[in-house]
């Protein structure tokens, strides 16, 4: 029946969501209420580690960065998969090991492809 | 988890998929060293034939069952669809060879992506678990997005790929949302276990589960191109290279039908009343919109896109029927549709030559005078798509309408027949242009032995199955026996 099932195990998750939101919002709200409101140009300029700001943030990026970004995602995902695999390794044993070897092997082929297509060279 | 209970011996049941994926990986590497694309295509065809042979051997030894912890079924139902997929790969490669050179997009990755997409489809056809189904669908979809945009110097191809990608991503979200709702209520992603959970947990009337099921149907609706989820289809079909239009009007559609049939029959079987009440209006508006909008098209690829939408509407009748007979008539439909559609697209591809697109309907004017053989073959495919005997298209429609009537959906069949009659207008218009008009410009056909073979095979099958339908009908019945 709908409505009868209450996932009690997830209650801490809900609580931490609420607490996290409050921890983020409360200082901001307090700041808005308490701080004196005096604006002048220097105060309104973006903070760039103490240096005077140079130019607009919407400058052009080299299109080459997108290939780097894509490759990063692929190998990042590999790392993401490796973590749970390593944690569960003692339970999944040889079978899990072979699976992971196959997975890394497929990525290796992708790596060779990328290398040979000269996507890793900057010029 | 009982991971080690996984019987290594049962892995043999996914041998065809393993072979296909390995070949696709080898093709990527081969592309780096071999410059002749024909060689890569040849290895691809050889690999597909090997996979098909291994699949046949596994069938012949009578092995059925499931592997990967019961998430992957090796049964007649899946194997029937895999047969369509193998044929689809081989014929697509045949019609691509010359054409991709003309489009200046002769890449080795093209063949590898076709194999990847097809292995995704094979996983969809065999999936008895919603997660495997989803992963298969993504493998198929991601590969197809790239294939649609592979002629990357053409703006319309880029546009098509982008539209297809966005709507495809949208539909994946629908599917995942539907899966998560179903999982949340039943506690399992296995189709058979969902069916028993429906009964045991008394979920048949549950509105949330109903919502989950609607979302799953909507997601497949995108892949099958049911109205109102068809918006991507005409643009994607028109912008994609024609060989890929042919590939994706058959493979992903058949795969999504296979998965839809299995999900609705296996998992939501007890809810037939509910899901057929959703599918009936979808099927009617799909047939209506597909057939009526097709009349207004002047581009033959767009026309065939709407025709493909309309055919999805007819094939849906087989699922709506909710019987095994209905399901097997849907399988028939998909197989026959594959042959006649690849044939029609092969003729469209032949008209493409250097500096001449040959995609407008007016390009077909008077074709019978200059190229009688090609016109005669196009005539067969157009008759078959309309459903005129003695072509296979008639058999496909006949069986699906018969099964729908047997299941008690007579009004729906009457509507389908009316729209089928309307469809004759735009299919036969092509024939009229070819035979009853004077040629305007001189059209040169770009023929090659491979394309010739494709058209010969598809035309022969279209006629043979029209005359001896029992060959295919019995195969479909046999395939579904253990379902």
**What ipTM describes this predicted complex?**
0.81
Chain position carrying tokens 């218009």: B429
- What pLDDT is attached to residue B2? 47
Residue A123 covered by a domain? no
Kindly tell me if the per-residue pLDDT of A66 is higher than 60. yes
Query: In this complex, do A1 and B202 lie within 8 Å of one another by their Cβ atoms?
Result: yes
Q: Whose structure tokens read 């009617």?
A: B284
A81 in contact with chain B, both atoms CB, cutoff 8 A: no
Has residue A14 been placed in a domain? yes
Task: Kindly state whether residue A43 falls inside one of the protein's structural domains.
Answer: yes
CA distance B19 to chain A (A): 14
A121 is a domain residue? no
What is the distance between the alpha carbons of residues B57 and A123, in angstroms, rounded to a whole number?
A: 51
- What is residue B211's predicted lDDT score, i.e. its pLDDT? 93
Cβ-in-10-Å burial (0-12, 13-18, 19+) of B56 comes to: middle
- Please tell me the total count of domains within chain B: 1
Which pLDDT score is estimated for A101?
93
Q: How many CB pairs under 8 A join A and B?
A: 28
Asked whether the beta carbons of B162 and B203 are under 8 A apart, the reply is: no
Q: What is the pLDDT of residue B63?
A: 76
Distance from CA of A57 to the nearest CA of B (A): 28
B224: which strand partners? none
- SS3 state of residue A64: helix
Cβ neighbours for B93, distance < 8 A, ≥ 6 positions apart: B41, B44, B45, B111, B114, B450
Q: Which residues contact B438 (CB under 8 A, 6 or more apart)?
A: B365, B366, B369
Query: In chain A, which residues have their Cβ closer than 8 Å to the Cβ of B208?
Result: 2
**pLDDT, one tens digit for every residue, chain B (483 residues):** 444 455 667 788 899 999 999 999 999 999 999 988 899 999 999 999 999 999 999 988 877 788 877 889 998 999 999 999 999 999 999 999 889 888 888 888 999 999 999 999 999 999 999 999 999 999 999 999 999 999 988 999 999 999 999 999 999 999 999 999 999 999 899 999 999 999 888 888 889 999 999 999 999 999 999 989 999 999 999 999 999 999 999 999 999 999 999 999 999 988 899 999 999 999 999 999 999 999 999 999 999 999 999 999 999 999 999 999 999 999 999 999 999 999 999 999 998 888 788 888 888 888 888 889 999 999 999 999 999 988 999 999 999 999 999 999 999 999 999 999 999 999 999 999 999 988 877 888 888 899 999 999 999 999 999 999 999 999 998 888 867
Residue of B nearest to A118 (CA): B32
Determine, yes or no, domain membership for A35.
yes
Closest residue in A to B8 (Cα–Cα): A95
Whether residues B25 and A93 touch (CB distance < 8 A) is answered with no
Does residue A1 form part of some domain? no
Instruction: Determine the Cα–Cα distance for residues B229 and B278; give it in Å rounded to an integer.
Output: 14
Residues of A in contact with B4 (CB under 8 A): 92-93, 95
- Chain B: which residues have CB within 8 Å of chain A? 1, 3-4, 6, 25, 28-29, 32, 202, 206-208
Helix residue ranges, H only, B103-206: 108-126, 130-148, 155-186, 191-200
Nearest CA in chain A to B18: A102
Q: Both tokens of residue A21? A: 């939101």
Interchain proximity B3–A95, CB inside 8 Å: yes
Among A2, A93, A116, the residue with its CB nearest the CB of B4 is A93
- Identify the bridge partners of residue B299 per DSSP, sorted by sequence position: B360
In a domain, A28, yes or no: yes
Query: Token pair of B141, please?
Result: 């979809």
A1 interface with B at CB cutoff 8 Å: yes
Task: Please identify which residue in the block is written with the tokens 């998430």.
Answer: B71
What is chain A's mean pLDDT, rounded? 85
Judged by CB atoms closer than 8 Å, whether chains meet at B4 and A109 is answered as no
Structural domain boundaries enclosing A84 = 8-116
- CA of A67 vs chain B CAs: smallest distance (Å): 16
CATH of the domain at A108: 1.20.58.1610
Distance CA B397, CA B249 (A): 18
Structural domain contains residue A75? yes
- Which pLDDT score, from 0 to 100, does residue B1 have? 42
Q: How many domains does chain A have?
A: 1
Q: Which domain holds residue B360?
A: 7-480
Residue B91 has which token pair? 């014929």
Residue A2, pLDDT score: 54
What pLDDT score does B315 carry?
Answer: 95
pLDDT of residue A40: 87
Residue B1 within any structural domain of the chain: no
Q: How many whole angstroms separate alpha carbon B238 and alpha carbon B233? A: 8
Other beta carbons within 10 angstroms of residue B408's beta carbon come to 11
Please report, for residues B95, B360, B370, B435, B468, the alpha-carbon distance to residue B374 in angstroms, rounded to integers and kept in the order given. Answer: 15, 16, 9, 12, 24
Q: The tokens of B68 are what?
A: 């990967």
Confidence of residue A3 (pLDDT cuts 50, 70, 90): low
Contact B4 A95 (CB under 8 A): yes
**CA B257, B74, B144 angle in degrees (round to 5)?**
45
């Amino acid at each position: 029946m709908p409505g009868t099932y209450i996932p009690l195990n997830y209650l801490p998750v809900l609580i931490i969501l609420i607490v996290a939101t409050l921890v983020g919002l409360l200082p901001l709200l307090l700041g808005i209420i308490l701080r004196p409101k005096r604006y002048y140009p220097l105060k309104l300029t973006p903070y760039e580690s103490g240096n005077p700001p140079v130019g607009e943030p919407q400058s052009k990026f080299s299109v080459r960065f997108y290939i780097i970004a894509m490759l990063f995602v692929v190998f990042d995902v590999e790392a993401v998969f490796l973590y749970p695999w390593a944690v569960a390794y003692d339970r999944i044993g040889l079978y899990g090991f072979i699976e992971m070897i196959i997975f890394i092997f497929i990525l290796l082929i992708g790596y060779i492809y990328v290398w040979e297509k000269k996507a890793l060279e900057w010029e | 988890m009982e991971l080690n209970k996984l019987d290594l011996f049962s892995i043999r049941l996914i041998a065809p998929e393993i072979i296909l994926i390995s070949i696709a990986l080898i093709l990527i590497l081969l592309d780096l060293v071999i410059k002749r694309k024909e060689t890569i295509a040849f290895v691809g065809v050889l690999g597909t034939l090997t996979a098909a042979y291994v699949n046949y051997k596994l069938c012949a030894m009578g092995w059925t069952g499931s592997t990967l912890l019961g998430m992957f079924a090796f049964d007649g139902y899946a194997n029937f669809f895999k047969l369509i997929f193998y044929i689809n790969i081989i014929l697509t490669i045949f019609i691509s060879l010359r054409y991709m050179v003309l489009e200046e997009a002769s890449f080795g990755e093209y063949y590898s992506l076709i194999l990847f997409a097809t292995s995704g489809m094979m996983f969809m056809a065999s999936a008895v678990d919603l997660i495997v189904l989803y992963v298969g669908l993504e493998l198929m979809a991601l590969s197809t997005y790239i294939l649609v945009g592979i002629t990357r110097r053409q703006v319309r191809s880029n546009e098509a790929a982008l539209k297809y990608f966005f709507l495809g991503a949208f539909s994946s979200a629908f599917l995942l949302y539907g899966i998560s709702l179903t999982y949340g209520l039943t506690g399992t992603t296995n189709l058979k276990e969902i069916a028993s959970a429906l009964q045991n947990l008394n979920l048949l009337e549950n509105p949330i589960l109903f919502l989950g099921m609607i979302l799953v149907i909507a997601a497949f609706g995108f892949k099958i191109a049911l109205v109102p989820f068809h918006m991507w289809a005409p643009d994607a079909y028109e912008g994609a290279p024609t060989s890929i239009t042919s590939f994706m009007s058959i493979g992903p559609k058949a795969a999504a039908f296979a998965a839809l049939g299995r999900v609705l029959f296996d998992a939501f079987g007890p809810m037939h009343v509910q899901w057929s009440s959703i599918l009936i209006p979808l099927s009617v508006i799909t047939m209506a919109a597909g057939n009526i909008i097709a009349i207004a098209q002047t581009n033959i690829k767009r026309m065939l896109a709407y025709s493909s939408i309309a055919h999805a509407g007819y094939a849906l009748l087989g699922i709506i029927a909710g019987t095994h007979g209905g399901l097997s008539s849907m399988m028939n439909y998909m197989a026959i549709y594959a042959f006649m559609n690849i044939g029609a697209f092969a003729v469209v591809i032949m008209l493409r030559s250097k500096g001449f697109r040959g995609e407008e309907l007016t390009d077909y004017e008077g074709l019978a005078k200059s190229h009688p053989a090609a016109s005669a073959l196009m005539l067969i495919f157009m008759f078959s798509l309309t459903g005129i005997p003695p072509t296979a298209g008639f058999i496909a429609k006949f069986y699906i309408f018969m099964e729908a009537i047997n299941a008690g959906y007579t009004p729906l069949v009457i509507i389908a027949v009316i729209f089928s009659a309307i469809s004759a207008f735009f299919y036969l218009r092509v024939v009229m242009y070819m035979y009853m008009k004077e040629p305007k410009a001189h059209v040169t056909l770009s023929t090659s032995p491979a394309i010739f073979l494709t058209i010969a095979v598809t035309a022969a099958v279209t006629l043979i199955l029209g005359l001896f339908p029992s060959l295919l009908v019995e195969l479909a019945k046999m395939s579904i026996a253990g379902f």
